[in-house]
Amino acid sequence: MATLSSVHLPSFDELASRDAARQKLSTVRQSVLVSIGIGTSIAIVMLILVILVKGIPAINWQFLSSPPVEGMSAGGIWPMIRGSLLLMGGTLAIVLPIGILSGIFLAEYAGHSRFGNVVRGCVMALAGTPSIIYGLFGLAVFVLTMKLGISLLAGWLTVSLFALPMIVLTTDTAIRAVPESLVDASLALGLSRWQTIWKVILPNAIPGIISGVVLMTGRAAGEAPPILFTAGIYYSTAKLTNDWSALKQPVANLPYHLAEGYRQGGVIPEKIIWGTCLTLMGMVLLINLGAILLRSRMRWKSSLN
What b/e sequence results for 90-116 when a residue is b if at least 16 CB atoms lie within 10 Å of its CB, and e otherwise?
A: bbbebbbeebbebbbbbbbebeeeeeb
Q: How far apart are the C-alpha atoms of 194 and 305, rounded to whole Å?
A: 20
Quick check: helix, strand or coil at residue 75? Answer: strand
What does the DSSP 8-state code read for residue 19?
H
Q: How far apart are the C-alpha atoms of 14 and 213, rounded to whole Å?
A: 55
**Is pLDDT at 84 greater than 70 in this prediction?**
yes
Query: What dotted CATH number matches 61-304?
Result: 1.10.3720.10
Half-sphere exposure of 303 (CA within 13 A, CB side): 7
Contact 259/135 with Cβ under 8 angstroms?
Answer: no
Instruction: Give the distance, in angstroms, between the CA of residue 29 and the centroid of all CA atoms in the same chain.
Output: 31
What does the DSSP 8-state code read for residue 112?
T
**Domain ranges in the chain?**
11-57, 61-304
* pLDDT at position 304: 63
pLDDT tens digits for range 201-239: 888 888 888 878 887 877 777 777 888 888 877 766 666
Q: How far apart are the C-alpha atoms of 134 and 155, rounded to whole Å?
A: 11
* pLDDT at position 4: 52
Q: How far apart are the C-alpha atoms of 211 and 197, rounded to whole Å?
A: 19
Q: Please state the pTM of the whole predicted model.
A: 0.79
**Is pLDDT at 9 greater than 70 in this prediction?**
no
CA angle 33, 38, 40 (to 5 degrees): 95
- Cβ within 8 Å of residue 64, ≥6 positions away: 76, 77, 78, 81, 279
pLDDT tens digits for range 243-296: 777 788 888 888 888 877 777 666 778 888 888 889 988 888 887 787 778 777
- Cβ within 8 Å of residue 130, ≥6 positions away: 225
pLDDT tens digits for range 18-51: 788 888 888 888 999 999 999 999 998 998 899 8
pLDDT tens digits for range 175-211: 888 888 888 888 888 888 888 888 888 888 888 888 7
Q: How far apart are the C-alpha atoms of 60 and 201, rounded to whole Å?
A: 46
**For range 98-127, the mean pLDDT:** 88
* pLDDT at position 8: 64
